[in-house]
């Protein structure tokens, strides 16, 4: 694992720091997405038509999907950032992660709302052109990863100074 170690102004950011950054990101994304899924339920028709047990199942199902998207997106972001991530390339890695999550969200919402009819938006859901993607799912894949990346950032700042 020595290849994953990086240097910032003489300090080594080893595999434990990398694992810690990934773990913090995953924890934050898991908590953020779970909360988001619960609070956005009224923006879907399911809120009016489903029983409480099915609503709980839907939240769990969507949350697990969110975690898979987040992990895949993070893996891609780390590949884009390169071997020195997270000490260098943290912002490019986060940006790539965010863009992959957004792209998948647009595709998934289009596929499941327009093509498959797997779920539907309630009239209260604002929609974004050109595909009519729900605003809440789009915001979810901006807000949650940004908060998670901010919290997960290593204690060594990008410029090599301790984070305050």
Is 6 domain-assigned?
no
Entry pTM: 0.83
Counting Cα atoms < 13 Å in the Cβ hemisphere of 113 gives 19
Is 146 domain-assigned?
yes
pLDDT in tens, 44-88: 999 999 999 999 999 999 999 999 999 999 999 999 998 888 888
pLDDT in tens, 24-48: 999 999 999 999 999 999 999 999 9
Q: How confident is the model at residue 18 (pLDDT cuts 50, 70, 90)?
A: confident
Is 84 domain-assigned?
yes
User: Can you tell me the mean pLDDT for 145-162?
Assistant: 74
Q: Which of 31, 29, 111 is nearest to 70 (CA)?
A: 29
What is the model's pLDDT at position 121?
Answer: 97
pLDDT in tens, 89-143: 899 999 999 999 999 999 999 999 999 999 999 999 999 999 899 999 999 999 9
- 14, exposed or middle or buried, with CB in 10 Å at 0-12, 13-18, 19+? middle
What is the model's pLDDT at position 13?
Answer: 55
For residues 86 and 103, give the distance between their C-alpha atoms in angstroms, rounded to a whole number: 23
Is 66 domain-assigned?
yes
pLDDT exceeds 50 at position 6: no
Q: Give the domain range for residue 64.
A: 14-152
What is the model's pLDDT at position 152?
Answer: 93
Is 120 domain-assigned?
yes
Name residue 128's beta-bridge partners. Answer: 133
Is 8 domain-assigned?
no
Q: How confident is the model at residue 12 (pLDDT cuts 50, 70, 90)?
A: very low
Is 23 domain-assigned?
yes
Query: How many domains, the chain?
Result: 1
Is 41 domain-assigned?
yes
């Amino acid at each position: 694992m020595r290849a994953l170690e990086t240097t910032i102004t003489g300090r080594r950011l080893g595999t434990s720091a990398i694992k810690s950054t990934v773990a913090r990101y995953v924890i934050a994304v898991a908590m953020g997405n779970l909360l988001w899924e619960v609070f956005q339920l009224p923006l879907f028709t399911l809120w009016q038509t489903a029983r409480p047990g099915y609503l709980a199942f839907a939240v769990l199902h969507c949350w697990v999907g969110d975690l898979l998207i987040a992990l895949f997106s993070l893996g891609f972001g780390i590949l884009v950032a390169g071997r020195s991530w997270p000490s260098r390339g943290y912002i490019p890695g986060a940006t790539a992660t965010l863009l992959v999550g957004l792209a998948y969200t647009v595709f998934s919402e289009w596929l499941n709302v327009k093509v498959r009819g797997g779920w539907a938006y309630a009239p209260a859901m604002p929609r974004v052109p050109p595909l009519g993607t729900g605003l809440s799912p789009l915001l979810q894949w901006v807000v949650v990863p940004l908060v998670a990346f901010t919290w997960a950032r290593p204690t060594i700042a990008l410029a090599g100074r301790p984070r305050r």
